[in-house]
Structure formats: C-alpha cells, structure tokens
C-alpha cells in the first residue's frame, strides 16, 4: 500500500496505547479507574433528550437533511444571543459559524490562515490536536514554555521572544487542557498587544468556558474583535462530545472566508446535533449547569485532596476550571527510573488506573500525568489515587 509522505506527520495519539489497554482490561471484566478520558462524566440532560427524540420523530425529514454548511440560521442566531449574554459583547449571527465539533473548526481555520513558513505560537504543554495540522499545512510551530512555577502561565520574556514578524497566530487554551490553569487578564492583554504589533491572530480555544469552580471566564473577543478567533464546542458543558457540534465566533470578515473553506472539510455540521444544540441553549443550559457543576467541583476537590494525601511528594496546581489536573510526579518517577509513558502503562496493567502521560502534550509535560476528575465517583477517585500512591511507593 502506498501512503503519502505527509501522512507520517500525523503521529497518532500517545493516549492510544492507554486506550487499547483500557479496552483489553475492561473486556476481561476488570474495573478500570478511568482518569484518562477528557470528557464529561455525566450524561446530557434527560429532558433535553426526551424533547429532542420527540422532535426527531415529528420532523424526520427536516432533521435528517443537509443544512447550510455554516449551520441552520436559528442555531447561529441562538449562539449569537447566548454568547452575547454570557460575554457582554455584541455578537451577531454573521460572527458565528457552526462546525462538526471544535476539531473541524480548528482544521478549517488553520486552512484559512496558514501559508507556507507561517509561524504559530503554542504553549508547551498544550492540547495535542494543533501541532500536526499546522505542520501539515506548511506552518512552523514555535513553543513557549508554560511555567509550572507560575501556575502554568508563560513568562512575559518567553512570549516576547517567541512572537515576531513571521507569527501568524498564537494559540491559547483557556481554561487549559492539560494543566487546568486559567489565564489572567494581564497575560491575555500582553498576548493581544503582541498579536496587534505583528497583525497575528489569537486563536482562543475556550472549550471549557462554562466549567469554572472559582472565578469567571474572560472573553478575549471583548478585548479585540479583529484579532481573536474564539473556538467553542458542545462537547464539554452540555456533555455531548459524541454529537460532534462546535462553533467559532470571530470578526465577520474572517467568518466569510472560514465558511468558504469549511465547505470542503464537512458539508455541514451534523443536522440532528444542531437541533439538539439549539434545545440546549434555549431551554436546558442553565438548569443543566446548575446541576452538573457542583458535582464536578466536588469531584475536583476530592481528587485534589486525595493527591495531597496519597502523593505527598507530587506537586499539583489546584484547577480553577476545566476537567483536569496535571500532576508532577518527578520525585517519584526519577527514583523509580521510569518516565511518565512507561509509568502510565505499568500503572494501568498493575493497578488498573488509567492516566495520560504528560509528555503526550509536549516535552515540558515529561514526568507529569494528566488526570480527569469528571468521570469517576468521589469514592472511586479516592481509590484510584490511593492505588497510584501504592504503586509509586513500590507496593
Ligand atoms: C482544548 C480542546 N479543544 C478542542 C477539543 C476538541 O473537542 P471537540 O472536537 O469535541 O469539540 C478538545 C477536546 O478534548 C479540547 O480539550
């Protein structure tokens, strides 16, 4: 079989080895403590699903047809109203384009902005979807260290030396995956100043913008409508990752070009998902968030407490938002003479706890693990972390 040379630019996720082992263990009936998956641990609103299935049966034709590639008008209007309401910014439907998850939004937006040799600034560690696509399109990735000692913020000097004449975009994930950190206003403003100086975009991935346990989300679009492209999804707060629905909010001139490009990445976002997303925003969002956020918050607190108790030599920044904790196990792993990848596999095989090796998110994630607190009950969170401690102490 003959593949393109460039297909090797997509290395395959380092999480795959973990997933395969989880499937193998689970198929043998073994209980796995699943801290590896980056998705909500609660199902979508039941009332929403009841109303949606009724609508699907009543309007099977409409809900199964192609839609405009940027989404049905009703959904774009509703997203614009919802975004305006939460952000306080005046967003119109012409600023919105609906996508098949934020993954499609990222692909189409990189296709819309990257030329050969353009530089894109990324944090290290960061979410692992961006780099291969940027490189595939001929872009060059410039990494800025997210500094653990600064609560996973980048330093001002590092940012200033990374951004320059060739910079086309800077990617910010806020709240962050994998570290759980929230960007402060000073850092966002500094990055926006740099973006303006070099006429670069700030790609603001706000997938977790409604999952705050402390403080509130900063909407970067409100600070600069021309340079910020906000990337959003229905995968996280509505608990609907498999429905594949997302959207971008940006300047209407950008959205026009984005819409033209995205006609080629997917004909339209999944039609049934668009109607379900519409129901979520118009009728169920506030109630659902008021029910689910306290559960995630207490799971986060339970995991943080367990990490402090069972892994006293580890360091961890307590997350103020999102679904993850990024734990530094260096004192333990150096002692055992193994890295985070080997540790994650051994932990899974021997103690049946699934975590993601930090190096999957960049070199700077070495000796760390990403653990998701959203999926398991508080009791299982405690037990899973206890097992990690047991493994690291050599029991
Ligand atoms: C920061 C971030 N961006 C984008 C995505 C992609 O999500 P989706 O394509 O389901 O919207 C994820 C998924 O985990 C994520 O964590």
Q: Report whether 394 contacts 387 (CB < 8 A).
A: no
The finding on whether 235 has its CB within 6 A of some atom of ligand 1 is yes
Ligand 1 atom with least separation from CA of 38: 14
Q: Please tell me whether residues 220 and 297 are part of one structural domain.
A: no
In testing the pocket of ligand 1, which one of 207, 211, 229, 246 has its CB within 8 Å of the most ligand atoms? 207
Q: What is the DSSP string of 112-171?
A: HH--TT-EEEEEES--TTHHHHHHHTT-EEEEEEEEGGGTSEEPHHHHHHH--TTEEEEE
Q: Residue 15: its pLDDT value, please? A: 80
In the predicted model, what is the mean pLDDT of the chain?
A: 96
Q: What is the DSSP string of 250-303?
A: --HHHHHHHHHHHTTT-SSS-HHHHHHHHHIIIIIHHHHHHHHHHHHHHHHHHH
Q: pLDDT tens across 3-49, in order?
A: 999 999 998 887 877 888 999 999 999 999 999 988 888 999 999 99
pLDDT confidence bin for 236, thresholds 50/70/90: very high
For residue 223, the domain's CATH number is: 3.40.640.10
Q: Please tell me whether residues 17 and 94 are part of one structural domain.
A: no
Ligand 1 atom with least separation from CA of 246: 11
Q: How many domains does the chain have?
A: 2
Q: Residue 38: its pLDDT value, please? A: 85
- The H-or-E segment that residue 327 falls in is strand 324-328
Q: Residue 89: its pLDDT value, please? A: 97
Q: Which domain holds residue 85?
A: 46-284
Ligand 1 atom with least separation from CA of 39: 14
The finding on whether 78 has its CB within 6 A of some atom of ligand 1 is no
Looking at 251, 284, 317, which one is the last position of a domain? Answer: 284
List CB contacts of 365: < 8 A, sequence separation 6 or more. Answer: 124, 125, 178, 326, 340, 357, 358, 359
In testing the pocket of ligand 1, which one of 127, 130, 321 has its CB within 8 Å of the most ligand atoms? 127
The finding on whether 126 has its CB within 6 A of some atom of ligand 1 is no
Q: Residue 19: its pLDDT value, please? A: 86
Q: Please tell me whether residues 248 and 370 are part of one structural domain.
A: no
Q: Please tell me whether residues 24 and 172 are part of one structural domain.
A: no
Q: pLDDT tens across 273-282, in order?
A: 999 999 999 9
Q: Please tell me whether residues 199 and 102 are part of one structural domain.
A: yes
């Amino acid at each position: 079989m003959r593949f393109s040379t460039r297909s090797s630019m997509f290395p395959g996720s380092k999480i795959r080895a973990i997933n395969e082992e989880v499937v193998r263990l689970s198929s043998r009936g073994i209980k796995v403590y699943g801290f590896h998956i980056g998705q909500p641990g609660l199902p979508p609103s039941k009332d929403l699903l009841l109303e949606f299935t009724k609508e699907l049966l009543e309007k099977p034709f409409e809900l199964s047809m192609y839609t405009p590639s940027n989404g049905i008008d009703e959904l774009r209007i509703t997203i614009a109203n919802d975004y305006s309401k939460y952000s306080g910014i005046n967003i119109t439907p012409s600023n919105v384009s609906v996508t098949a998850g934020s993954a499609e939004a990222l692909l189409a937006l990189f296709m819309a902005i990257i030329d050969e040799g353009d530089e894109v600034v990324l944090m290290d560690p960061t979410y692992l979807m961006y780099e291969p696509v940027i490189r595939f399109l001929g872009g060059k990735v410039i990494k800025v260290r997210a500094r653990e000692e600064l609560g996973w913020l980048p330093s001002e000097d590092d940012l200033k030396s990374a951004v320059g004449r060739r910079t086309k975009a800077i990617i910010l994930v806020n709240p962050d995956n994998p570290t759980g950190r929230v960007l402060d206003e000073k850092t966002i403003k500094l990055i926006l100043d740099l973006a303006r100086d070099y006429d670069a975009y700030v790609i603001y991935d706000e997938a977790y913008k409604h999952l705050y346990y402390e403080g509130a989300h900063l909407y970067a679009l409100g600070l600069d409508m021309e340079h910020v492209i906000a990337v959003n999804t229905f995968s996280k707060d509505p608990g609907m990752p498999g429905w594949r629905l997302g959207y971008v909010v940006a300047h209407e001139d950008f959205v026009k070009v984005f819409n033209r490009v995205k006609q080629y990445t997917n004909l339209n976002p999944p039609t049934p998902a668009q109607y379900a997303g519409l129901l979520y925003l118009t009728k169920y969002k506030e109630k659902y968030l008021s029910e689910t956020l306290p559960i995630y918050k207490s799971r986060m607190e339970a995991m943080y407490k367990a990490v402090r108790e069972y892994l006293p030599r580890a360091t961890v920044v307590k997350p103020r938002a999102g679904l993850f904790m990024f734990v530094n196990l260096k004192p333990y792993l150096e002692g055992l003479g193994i890295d985070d990848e080997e540790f994650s596999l051994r932990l899974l095989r021997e103690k049946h706890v699934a975590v993601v090796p930090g190096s999957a998110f960049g070199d700077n994630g070495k000796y760390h693990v990403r653990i998701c607190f959203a999926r398991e009950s508080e009791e299982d969170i405690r037990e899973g972390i206890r097992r990690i401690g047991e493994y690291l102490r050599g029991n």
